[in-house]
């Protein structure tokens, strides 16, 4: 029923656009010059709407309309990498806010001195997974370290993981014996209640080693349900990627999913540039990118996926 409703809404948008185009053409054929200003305004509105709808056709994946789980993990390098992970979180949160996404912080581990070791977000909104999938991979930062008294240049890495929230649509049989469930006190915001009680949950899926934590709810039961939902979605994504890898191997393709294969570099010294290594799209406005201006990078990736970029 949800799929039917979505399709009806989508068809309704195109039918409405078609009617507006027909009416505009009829007005043009009348040849009334007094209608020219009104027609010019309508043409601009129609052009903008057509551009928007054309862009949305790039979201052609099976789960592009779904909410997403979004994780950031600091790479090797201690303070430097953890500070970079925090910079990425700020960048992505600003970008998500600009797209009116709803974001819930499910779990977060602070860095030893500054920054973050990891964070897990639940993101919902218009084509959330469709947008965010472009950011999955290793992000590389080159800068003069603010933590180095000798002002030397450092390279830091952080890994972004994205998977669709499909827990409600899939049937995954998880053996309770394959799970280790730990309770602990929440360490983040949430008031005295969560600080005094062991409401946070950490689930370890023993066969795969996947660990999912949740501490943003006041209730132990709510945290457990949310963590299980995230685990199911991640197990499904793991199986999907495994099948894709096997298919690619049969096709003779070489898949490199190594930690060192960064998708994007952010260079702040000796020059300023952000470059995506998959699409070759780049910009010198590093400040804007780190403030959340990512649309051009995502659009280039989506067009590459559908064969519009070489």
Q: How confident is the model at residue 246 (pLDDT cuts 50, 70, 90)?
A: low
User: What is the model's pLDDT at position 168?
Assistant: 65
Phi (first) and psi of residue 283, to 5 degrees: -150, 150
| Residue 112, SS3 per DSSP | coil
Is CATH 3.30.565.10 the right assignment for the domain spanning 66-310? no
- What is the per-residue pLDDT across 10-21, written as a single tens digit (0 to 9) for each? 899 899 999 999
Between CA 216 and CA 89 the distance in angstroms is 17
111 and 79 Cβ atoms separated by less than 8 Å: yes
Where are the domains positioned within the chain?
2-56, 66-310
- Count, residues in the chain: 310
- pLDDT of 248 strictly over 60: no
User: What is the model's pLDDT at position 185?
Assistant: 79
Between CA 156 and CA 256 the distance in angstroms is 20
Quote the strand ranges of the chain, DSSP E: 68-74, 102-110, 116-124, 137-144, 153-164, 179-184, 200-205, 210-214, 262-267, 273-276, 282-283
- What is the per-residue pLDDT across 114-139, written as a single tens digit (0 to 9) for each? 999 999 999 999 899 999 999 999 99
The widest CA-to-CA distance across the chain, in whole angstroms, is 77
Between CA 191 and CA 215 the distance in angstroms is 12
Q: What is the DSSP letter of 280?
A: -
85 and 92 Cβ atoms separated by less than 8 Å: no
Which residues 6+ apart lie within 8 Å of 261 measured at CB? 137, 138
**Among the listed ranges 181-185, 186-190, 283-287, which one has the minimum average pLDDT value?**
186-190
């Amino acid at each position: 029923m949800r799929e039917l409703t979505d399709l009806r809404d989508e068809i309704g948008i195109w039918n409405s656009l078609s009617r507006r185009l027909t009416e505009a053409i009829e007005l043009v054929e009348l040849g009334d010059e007094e209608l020219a200003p009104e027609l010019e305004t309508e043409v601009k509105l129609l052009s903008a709407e057509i551009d928007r709808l054309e862009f949305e056709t790039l979201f052609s994946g099976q789960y592009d309309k779904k909410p997403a789980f979004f994780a950031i993990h600091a790479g090797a390098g201690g303070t430097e990498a953890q500070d970079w992970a925090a910079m990425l979180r700020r960048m992505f949160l600003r970008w998500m806010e600009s797209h009116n996404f709803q974001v819930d912080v499910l779990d977060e581990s602070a860095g030893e001195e500054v920054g973050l070791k990891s964070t897990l977000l639940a993101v919902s909104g218009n084509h959330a997974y469709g947008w965010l999938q472009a950011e999955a991979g290793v992000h590389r930062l080159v800068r003069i370290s603010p933590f180095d008294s000798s002002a030397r240049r450092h390279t830091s890495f952080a890994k972004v993981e994205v998977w669709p929230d499909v827990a409600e649509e899939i049937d995954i049989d998880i053996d309770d014996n394959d799970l280790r469930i730990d309770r602990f006190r929440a360490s983040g915001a949430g008031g005295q209640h969560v600080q005094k009680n062991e409401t946070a949950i950490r689930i370890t899926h023993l066969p795969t080693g996947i660990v999912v934590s949740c501490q943003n709810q006041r209730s132990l039961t709510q945290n457990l349900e949310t963590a299980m939902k995230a685990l199911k979605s991640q197990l499904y994504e793991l199986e999907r990627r495994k099948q894709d890898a096997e298919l690619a191997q049969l096709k003779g393709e070489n898949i490199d999913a190594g930690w060192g294969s960064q998708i994007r570099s952010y260079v702040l010294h000796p020059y300023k540039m952000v470059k995506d290594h998959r699409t070759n799209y780049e910009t010198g406005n590093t400040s804007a990118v780190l403030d959340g201006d990512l649309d051009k990078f995502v659009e280039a990736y989506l067009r590459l996926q559908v064969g519009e970029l070489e």
